[in-house]
Amino acid sequence: MPKSRLVALAIAMGLVACSGPVATQPPPAVEPSPVPPTATPWTEPTEAPTAVPTAPPTDVPTEAPATEEPPGVEPTKEQPTMTGGETLLEERCTVCHGADRVTRARKTREAWEQTVRRMIGLGAELDEQETTVLVDYLAEIYGQ
């Protein structure tokens, strides 16, 4: 439809809407179109639908799968894992100062142990096992 006819139609509709109620005739009845001769009526499928896996019910307790230990190895209870010296250095020492203070220093094992003990006295949180791991790491990597 040309643009000018659309504008005229819009104006006419506006006039009709502003003029008040207008008696209208119901739209003419539309008869449904006949079913095309090639269409077939719907029928039930002959194959059974495939089962869809579902999650187990939440109210049924489930057991964790048992893990087998290699022969000769007894199961161990959960023990805290030891972190490496580098991890201890990053997590505990660099809280107060940069790692460059450590990487610039070259000390003997004894000097590293004195330094670590002094840091513990100043608030570094290390237990005895962690202290040994850290001192061993420092002596190996930054030792004389």
pLDDT band for position 103 (cuts 50, 70, 90): confident
Q: Helices 109-121 & 128-142, crossing angle to 10 degrees?
A: 140
- DSSP conformation class of 47: S
Q: Which residues contact 50 (CB under 8 A, 6 or more apart)?
A: none
* Domain encompassing residue 98: 85-142
Q: Which 3 state secondary structure label does DSSP give 86?
A: helix
Residue 137: inside a domain: yes
Which pLDDT belongs to residue 115? 94
Instruction: Give the range with max mean pLDDT: 10-19, 74-83, 87-96.
Output: 87-96
Residue 143: strand pairing partners: 107
Amino acid identity of 81?
Answer: T
Which pLDDT belongs to residue 63? 61
pLDDT band for position 108 (cuts 50, 70, 90): very high
Look at the pTM and tell me if it is higher than 0.75.
Answer: no
Residue 113: inside a domain: yes
Which pLDDT belongs to residue 39? 55
Total tally of structural domains belonging to the chain: 1
**Cβ atoms 139, 108 nearer than 8 A:** yes
Backbone angles phi, psi at 143, to 5 degrees: -90, 170
Pairwise pLDDT comparison (140 vs 63), residue with the higher score: 140
**CATH for 97:** 1.10.760.10
Section 70-83 average pLDDT? 56
Residue 135: inside a domain: yes
**Cβ atoms 81, 126 nearer than 8 A:** no
